[in-house]
Chains A and B, each alone.
Chain A
Amino acid sequence: MIEPHKDLLQIEDLSKEEIESILAAAQPFKELFKRSVKKVPTLQGKTVLSLFYEPSTRTSSSFEVAANRLSADFTSLAVASSSVVKGESVLDTVDTLGAMKADYIIIRHKKAGIPNLIASHTDASVINAGDGFHAHPTQALLDASTLYDAFGTLEFKEKKILIVGDILHSRVARSTSRILSMLGAEVRVLGPGTLVPPGRPKKMKNFQNYKDAMEWSPDVIYLLRVQFERQGEQFFPSSNEYHSVYGLTEDRLKTVKEKGIWVMHPGPVNRGVEISDSVMNYERCLINKQVENGIATRMAVLYWLKPKTLPSDE
């Protein structure tokens, strides 16, 4: 029997069965989106607060749409321009928000572990929407959900996933590789030596170049965003050089097409760096599917978690 969790902080906290139950819960929501009325009353009267300490468009709006479609009251705090800048600590902010009796707190922060710290100080369900280099569990769930549809099965055994790019600074690489491994897939990586750290999980073997990686015959190429904003130092000589060595270019797309490989990217895309324009139109490019499934998956997460703010009979 699966006990609902209070928080979603990192994929490591979920068992395979729990992951499967969240992904299963997302399926009916995907069906819902085909209807003219896309709203259900599941979270009527519940309050969802969103705290984004880092700029984000797609994740924050994805959570907003998800909460609205579940009929929750959604409030987003412009924390970047509020008292946080004036030196109030995150926990002080959370205390203040506690007075607003939120049932769910969605948080993104540039420091790892902030959602964990908050979760231990509130009865509300805390959903990690990305913390530093640490974790992005709803991204991992929506990626798994997208591959569930692409593969037509939740059994990812013998599937090969190649993650390309900045493994060092990517919370997506950490969370998505974890969930895909748990579902049975083999995950390997390709990227500049500076961005593929030896501290990654041992089974995540790396390739030295695209040619070797393609000979491995991956089912999915998962491109990571080059995060210029996180890099205070130089990890590769130039964007052009990155594109020519690690980018999914015209030439490389031919092999990808021949082999029928799926292409994914968590967004936002740097066109001409990790990916060339034409790849965006490739028929097995799942980038838009990922965005679409993000809403259904986040609805499933909100539905699945159980805040301690609710009376026990609910």
Chain B
Amino acid sequence: MSDSILFKQVSIASEDDSELLVSDVLIEDGVIKSVSSDLKPSDNSRTIEAVGKVLLPGLYDVHVHFREPGQTSKETIATGTAAAINGGVTGVVAMPNTLPAIDSGGMVKSVLETARRDSRINFLTTGCITKGRAGKEMAAISGMKEAGVAMITDDGSPVENPQLLRRAMEYAREFDLPLASHCETMQLSGSGAMNEGRRSYKLGIPGIPSISEEICIARDIQIAAYTGAHLHIQHVTTAAGMEIIRRAKNDGVKVTCEVAPHHLIFNENHIVDYDTYYKMNPPLRTEEDNDRLLDGLVEGVFDVIATDHAPHTEFEKKQQDFEAAPFGITGLETALPSLNHYFIDKDKMDWGQIVKRYSSEPRRLLGFNPVSIKEGEAAEIVLFDPNGETTFTKDFMESKSPNTPFLDKTLKGSVELVAVGEKVLLDRI
């Protein structure tokens, strides 16, 4: 990077304001030097004419799967973080369902070591609640805390035994570790592969009923209320589940939750001709759920947006039938353009909400201060052109896996530049 970058007439997004603030922004030595009108370029500064473009603080995604160690044909920490940068995401929290699972201090250290070598952005990992994610006995929670885990979770599975979950919450509470929960009642999900309803009946695919998720949300909230632990509910997909969380928050339970872009945009009716790029767990629900979840996001029921970026190889997804193919789609590279395309562009969300839910609140959830575009702050910035276009070809995407419903589709909006400190991580200008 040249010593400084000057953005001329850029539109600054901030969590405190639904409107964008048009100004010049000067970044020098990795710090936001000045935010004001009519800034003059110095001799060695790069000037970017940014009329109509949005400058956002770097996004933070608290739910990604990078598959390392063990399943590096799907993704690695290197390719996963490259995908994050490609989507304007400058911080990630990886899930522990690797092979072997991240369930000890040693595993946590090893993964963080890999990230120090391969990641150019802020990388955190979670650790398991139970050993091997097997749901039988508690993992080494204090050891993982010491090694630096952000949260504990058995993501991909619920802790089925309520007594074990209760003990884990009581124990984790004393280490100030949030416990993140994949809410599903396995006996109700059975062999289900998509939402149970009209579409699953028509396709003849075994269904996963909405109550599978909702019952577990209610159960986990009751245990959190009883133990006083911090419960974070992952990837909520049903309106009824969301309402349970809303009530619990009103009652003062220490519960936070996330929603994924695909659960706001797609529903079961998008599953046409057994396309496995619409298969994930929890599954796409109904059109009404899309609308109600978006309302919930705008109203603040959801603390954060998180993608559940879940790479799988083309072979696993496309050479197998719908039931056999693994659950999950990628999301890091498509999240911001898709939110722009479907919601910002149609005035259903504003930029303040995007910054709050996909940049500031995720950092607060992890105990960090949010980053923002204010004088004196360290630079962690994304320049986004809301009127640009991105076509998500395999060539464009940095992820090792192409399993997204947006593959080869074009969305409105384009991530143009990403910089963290003195480093420009992405430059498409």
Contact = CB atoms under 8 A, between A and B. Distances in A.
A135 interface: yes
Contact of B204 (A89, A90, A134, A201): A134
B323 A200 contact: no
A272 interface: no
Contacts of A232: 190
Interface in A98-126: 109, 111-114, 116-117
B204 A133 contact: yes
B38 interface: no
B204 A112 contact: yes
A267 interface: no
B274 interface: yes
Contact of A89 (B197, B203, B274, B320): B320
Contacts of B207: 199
Contacts of A97: none
B202 interface: yes
Given A134-B203, A171-B204, A89 B319 contact: yes
A69 interface: no
A131 B206 CA distance: 13
A306 interface: no
Contacts of A114: 321
A245 interface: no
A135 B196 contact: no
B321 A90 contact: yes
Given A89-B320, A91-B319, A117-B321, A112 B205 contact: yes
A193 interface: no
Given A199-B198, A199-B200, A116 B205 contact: no
A140 to B, nearest CB: 14
A192 interface: no
Contacts of A199: 196-202, 207
Nearest to B198: A199
B321 A113 contact: yes
A135 B201 contact: no
Q: Tell me the dominant secondary structure on chain B's binding face.
A: loop
Contacts of A117: 274, 321
A126 B324 CA distance: 21
A168 B205 CA distance: 10
Contacts of B204: 112-113, 131-135, 171, 174
A112 B274 CA distance: 9
B203 A113 contact: yes
B174 interface: no
Contact of A112 (B196, B197, B203, B320): B203
A197 interface: yes
A113 B196 contact: no
Please tell me the size bucket of the interface on B. 20 to 34
A112 B201 contact: no
A98 to B, nearest CB: 15
B324 A111 contact: yes
A113 B279 CA distance: 14
A90 B321 CA distance: 9
Nearest to A133: B204
A116 B274 contact: yes
B358 interface: no
B299 interface: no
A232 B192 CA distance: 13
A95 B135 CA distance: 41
Contacts of A200: 198, 201
A116 B198 contact: no
A197 B321 CA distance: 24
Contacts of B323: 111-113, 132
A232 B190 CA distance: 10
B322 A113 contact: yes
Contacts of A109: 321
Contacts of B321: 90, 109, 111-114, 117
Interface string A45-69: 0000000000000000000000000
A40 B205 CA distance: 39
A201 B201 CA distance: 9
B41 to A, nearest CB: 56
Contacts of A112: 203-205, 274, 321-323
B16 interface: no
Nearest to A175: B204
Contacts of A171: 204
Contacts of A201: 198
A135 B204 CA distance: 7
A267 B368 CA distance: 65
Contacts of A111: 321-324
Interface in A35-94: 89-91
A201 B322 CA distance: 22
A218 B197 CA distance: 28
A82 B200 CA distance: 31
Interface in A150-195: 168, 171, 174
Contacts of B203: 112-113, 134
B273 interface: yes
Interface string B260-302: 0000000000000110000000000000000000000000000
A199 B286 CA distance: 12
Nearest to B322: A113
A11 B349 CA distance: 42
B201 A197 contact: yes
Interface in B304-358: 319-324
Contacts of B274: 112-113, 116-117
Contacts of A113: 203-205, 273-274, 321-323
Contacts of B199: 199
Nearest to A202: B198
Nearest to B273: A116
A133 B190 CA distance: 15
13 contacts: A90-B321, A109-B321, A111-B323, A112-B204, A112-B321, A113-B274, A132-B205, A133-B206, A134-B205, A171-B204, A174-B201, A200-B198, A201-B198
Please give me the 3 A-B residue pairs with the lowest Cβ-Cβ distance, nearest first.
A134-B204, A199-B201, A133-B204
Given A109-B321, A232-B190, 18 more contacts: A89-B320, A91-B319, A111-B321, A112-B321, A113-B203, A117-B274, A131-B204, A132-B323, A133-B204, A133-B206, A134-B204, A135-B204, A174-B201, A197-B196, A197-B201, A199-B196, A199-B198, A200-B198
